[in-house]
């Protein structure tokens, strides 16, 4: 094998959309057996570049070389045939079909008359599943698998051809740490087989753990490639956003108030059991744990979206019954949900309408909604949260992730809640906006809000929280103050490894 010859090389790729130059002469190469991170803020052109590589979009200029031969990829199949495989960020599986049918989706082995050759299909699938070392079999219905196992099916798809280059787009977004380990093993295995890996992620710790080189895009332009071993997070961040980012541990300098929200022995079926914690005014309480540990479900229960099977919720010392979000909102609880696009925003509506949605019934003059009252709120929180939008008429679907998230936060701040629950505040948000949102959360606490932050990202939870609740499999494992928390004992707690639950 000629190690020096790149498996994939891009030269001067240009892609323009009407009015926008999405890619402006991007060049880089992917060597066999390397993991090559591709980084950049949202809108920097990563996904456009990947679409060009995956054969979904045709570039306006530039050339792609596979094994140094110029190629043109007209569709995803052409790309796959050349050994360039794309693993999507959003799982693209058909839940009602079997694992085997999903892995060979679009290219089922056939007999005469378009019949599916099931024998071959299952045999081929078993072969792939073996290399992935998974517990399910080829006939399992994909809808019955966990998210992580579905991700494995997705990866299995890449292995149906002998891949030269595999592109992972945010593969760990919904994986637990244990599942990440398996994923990284698979990636390592691909590496040893001489496959080049392009790894797109916002998560620095992963990038530094598994990649060999890092290429950075900004504003559609190629900003350079760094050897991972010879650089650090600061340098990469600077390259991405042109400045450095503070992710240091945070210490509160303001006074804490009384306990705003207390939860005692709260359970909801098998989703979570016997959960107790409290949060004070002026405090940020972090919830850290794996996906599926029950954190989001606790938030949804407090917000009246699930019916608890046992336990109490106390607000300012008074026990309350919360049966619906309407009641929760009336009591001063707000929830910035995990899934911004499906739960946080009405994408077809404009910025102003989204922001005033929960209190629209109050912003009336006579029978009608008062434009003036609405705009007053919108203007106030646009300025306060520094929401960048051409105007209130802009449809939120056209905003960047960070600005969308700010609209959701603004929507709740304008209601003056006592308790603000923020679930995965920076998921899918670029680095620059991330720190803005972190600062915002800290500011809110300083202003006396009681804030609960649920996050799967350790740096984030360490950065913003005054205290951290660690969860594992539906139970609270341990509560940490900012003094006694370390990365190690936090990881132990959320992996169910800690013995001292009482602490």
Binding residues vs other proteins (CB under 8 A): 18-19, 75-77, 80, 86, 88, 90-97, 101-102, 105-108, 110, 113-116, 144, 157, 268-271, 300, 303-307, 309, 324-326, 328-329, 335, 337, 342-349, 353, 357-358, 360-361, 363-364, 367-369, 411
In the bound state with other proteins, the residue whose beta carbon lies nearer, of 142 and 385, is 142
Provide, rounded to whole angstroms, the least separation between the CB of residue 267 and other proteins.
10
In the bound state with other proteins, the residue whose beta carbon lies nearer, of 317 and 361, is 361
In the bound state with other proteins, the residue whose beta carbon lies nearer, of 140 and 456, is 140
Q: What is the sign of the dihedral through the CA atoms of 357, 362, 364 and 368?
A: positive
In the bound state with other proteins, the residue whose beta carbon lies nearer, of 280 and 427, is 427
Helix (H) or strand (E) holding 28: strand 20-30
178 contact partners, CB below 8 Å, separation of at least 6: 290, 495
Which SS3 state, helix, strand or coil, does residue 427 take? coil
In the bound state with other proteins, the residue whose beta carbon lies nearer, of 71 and 491, is 71
Report CA 265 to chain centroid distance, whole Å.
Answer: 30
**Could you tell me which of 29, 430, 58, 444 has the C-alpha nearest to residue 196?**
29
In the bound state with other proteins, the residue whose beta carbon lies nearer, of 345 and 441, is 345
Answer for the pair 314, 264: CB distance below 8 angstroms, yes or no.
yes
Report how far residue 246's alpha carbon sits from residue 434's, in angstroms, rounded to the nearest whole number: 10
**Bridge partners for 222 per DSSP:** 217
Provide, rounded to whole angstroms, the least separation between the CB of residue 87 and other proteins.
10
Provide, rounded to whole angstroms, the least separation between the CB of residue 333 and other proteins.
10
Report CA 344 to chain centroid distance, whole Å.
Answer: 15
Using CA atoms of 248, 253, 255, 260 in order, give the dihedral in degrees to the nearest 10: -20
Which token pair is 93?
Answer: 């599986």
Which token pair is 132?
Answer: 């992935």
In the bound state with other proteins, the residue whose beta carbon lies nearer, of 113 and 318, is 113
Provide, rounded to whole angstroms, the least separation between the CB of residue 364 and other proteins.
6
Provide, rounded to whole angstroms, the least separation between the CB of residue 171 and other proteins.
15
Report how far residue 387's alpha carbon sits from residue 262's, in angstroms, rounded to the nearest whole number: 32
**Could you tell me which of 65, 43, 47 has the C-alpha nearest to residue 57?**
47
Count of residues making up the chain: 503
Provide, rounded to whole angstroms, the least separation between the CB of residue 114 and other proteins.
5
Report how far residue 472's alpha carbon sits from residue 474's, in angstroms, rounded to the nearest whole number: 6
Answer for the pair 259, 279: CB distance below 8 angstroms, yes or no.
yes
Q: What are the angstrom distances between the C-alpha of 302 and each of 245, 332, 425, 469, 473?
A: 33, 11, 18, 16, 18
In the bound state with other proteins, the residue whose beta carbon lies nearer, of 289 and 337, is 337
Provide, rounded to whole angstroms, the least separation between the CB of residue 413 and other proteins.
14
**Could you tell me which of 16, 19, 417, 409 has the C-alpha nearest to residue 220?**
16
Please provide the DSSP assignment of 482-496 as one string: TTT--HHHHHHHHTT
Which token pair is 15?
Answer: 């892609």
Provide, rounded to whole angstroms, the least separation between the CB of residue 39 and other proteins.
23
Which SS3 state, helix, strand or coil, does residue 241 take? helix
In the bound state with other proteins, the residue whose beta carbon lies nearer, of 113 and 130, is 113
Provide, rounded to whole angstroms, the least separation between the CB of residue 91 and other proteins.
8
Answer for the pair 166, 158: CB distance below 8 angstroms, yes or no.
yes
Provide, rounded to whole angstroms, the least separation between the CB of residue 76 and other proteins.
5
Provide, rounded to whole angstroms, the least separation between the CB of residue 352 and other proteins.
11
Which token pair is 280?
Answer: 């004070």
In the bound state with other proteins, the residue whose beta carbon lies nearer, of 134 and 363, is 363
In the bound state with other proteins, the residue whose beta carbon lies nearer, of 110 and 503, is 110
């Amino acid at each position: 094998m000629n190690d020096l010859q790149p498996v994939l090389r891009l030269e001067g790729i240009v892609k323009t959309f009407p009015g926008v130059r999405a890619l402006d002469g991007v060049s880089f190469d992917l060597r066999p057996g390397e993991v090559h991170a591709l980084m950049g803020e949202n809108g920097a052109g990563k996904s456009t570049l990947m679409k060009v590589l995956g054969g979904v979009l045709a570039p306006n200029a530039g050339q792609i070389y596979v094994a140094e031969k110029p190629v043109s990829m007209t569709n995803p199949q052409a790309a796959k045939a050349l050994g360039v495989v794309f693993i999507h960020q959003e799982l693209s599986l058909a839940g009602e079909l079997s694992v085997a049918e999903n892995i060979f989706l679009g290219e089922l082995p056939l007999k005469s008359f378009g019949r599916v050759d099931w024998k071959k299909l299952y045999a081929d699938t078993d072969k792939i599943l073996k290399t992935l070392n998974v517990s399910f079999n080829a006939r399992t219905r994909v809808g019955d698998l966990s998210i992580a196992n579905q991700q494995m099916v997705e990866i299995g798809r890449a292995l149906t051809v002998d891949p030269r280059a595999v592109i992972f787009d945010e593969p760990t977004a919904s994986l637990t740490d244990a599942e990440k380990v398996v994923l990284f093993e698979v990636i390592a295995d691909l590496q040893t087989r001489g496959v080049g890996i392009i790894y797109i992620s916002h998560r620095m710790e992963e990038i530094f753990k598994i990649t060999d080189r890092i290429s950075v895009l900004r504003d559609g332009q190629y900003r350079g490639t760094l050897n991972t071993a010879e650089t650090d997070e600061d340098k990469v961040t600077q390259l991405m956003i042109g400045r450095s980012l503070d992710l240091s541990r945070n210490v509160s300098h303001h006074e804490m108030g009384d306990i705003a929200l207390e939860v005692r022995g709260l359970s909801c079926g098998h989703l979570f059991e016997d959960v107790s914690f409290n949060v004070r005014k002026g405090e940020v309480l972090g919830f850290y744990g794996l996906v599926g540990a029950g954190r989001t479900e606790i938030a949804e229960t407090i917000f009246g979206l699930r019916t608890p099977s046992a336990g109490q919720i106390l607000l300012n010392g008074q026990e309350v019954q919360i049966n619906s979000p309407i009641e929760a909102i009336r009591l001063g609880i707000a929830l910035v949900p995990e899934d911004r696009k499906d739960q946080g925003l009405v994408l077809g509506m404009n910025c102003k309408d989204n922001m005033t949605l929960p209190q629209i019934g109050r912003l009336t003059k006579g029978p009608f909604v008062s434009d003036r009252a609405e705009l007053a709120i919108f203007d106030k929180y646009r300025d306060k949260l520094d929401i960048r939008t051409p105007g209130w008429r802009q449809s939120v679907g056209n905003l960047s992730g960070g600005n969308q998230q700010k609209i959701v936060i603004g929507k709740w701040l304008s209601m003056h809640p006592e308790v603000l629950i923020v679930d995965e505040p920076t998921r899918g948000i670029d680095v620059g906006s991330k720190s803005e949102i972190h600062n915002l959360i800290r500011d809110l606490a300083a202003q006396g809000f009681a804030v609960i932050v649920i996050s799967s990202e350790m740096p984030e939870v360490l950065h913003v929280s005054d205290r951290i609740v660690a969860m594992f499999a539906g139970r609270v494992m341990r509560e940490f103050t900012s003094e006694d928390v370390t990365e190690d004992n936090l990881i132990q707690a959320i992996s169910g490894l800690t013995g001292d639950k009482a602490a």
